[in-house]
Amino acid sequence: MDGLRIVVGSDDAGLQYKEVLRELLEADERVAAVIDVGVAAGEETAYPDVAVDAARRVAAGEADRALLVCGTGLGVAIAANKVAGVRAVTAHDSYSVERAVLSNDAQVLCLGQRVIGVELARRLVREWVGHHFDPSSPSARKVARIVHYDH
C-alpha cells in the first residue's frame, strides 16, 4: 500500500481540532495526501455539506478515508452515512477506533471537539491510520451484508 489519501473536514465547532489533526496527518509518513474540504476560519458551512462532500470523495475513490470533526462527531457521522458505500463512525476510544476499521471497514472517522481532549484526538487518529481492514477476515462477510443494503 502506498499511503492513504485522507479527506479532512469540519464545521466551525470542530475547526480547531481539524486543523491540528490535518497537520498531524500531513506529517505522517503513512499518509500520501490530505485533502481539506473545509471549513476555514471565519467560514460558515453547514456540517452536513462538509460531511457529504468528504464522503462522496471516499465513495468515488478519490480518497481512501475521511476524518470529520464537529462538536460531538455525531452530526457529521449521520450526514456521511447518507452516501451509499460509506461507513462512518463516531469513536472516542482506542478499541472502538480499532474495531471500526478491523470489524466494519469504516472509512470515515468522526470525532467531537467538545467531547474529547486534543491529545486523545491526536492519539486516536494516529492509531486509526495504522489499522487496515482484511477482506479475508471473518468480518468481511458481515461488511458485505452492510454493503448489500446500499443497493
Hey, what CATH topology would domain 4-148 get? Ribose 5-phosphate Isomerase B; Chain: A, (3.40.1400)
Q: Which of 52, 59, 70, 101 is catalytic?
A: 70
Residues 115-130 pLDDT 10s: 999 999 999 999 999 9
Give the bridge partners for 90, in sequence order. Answer: 110
Answering whether pTM is above 0.75, one says yes
Angle among Cα 40, 127, 85 to the nearest 5 degrees reads 70
Which of 67, 37, 59, 61 shows the shortest CA–CA distance to 49?
A: 37
Q: Which residues of 59-75 are buried (b: 16+ CB within 10 A; e: fewer)?
A: beeebbbbbbbbbbbeb
The confidence band for 45, taking pLDDT boundaries of 50, 70 and 90, is confident
C-alpha distance from residue 4 to each of 78, 84, 86, 144 (Å): 23, 21, 16, 22
**Is 110 in the active site?**
no
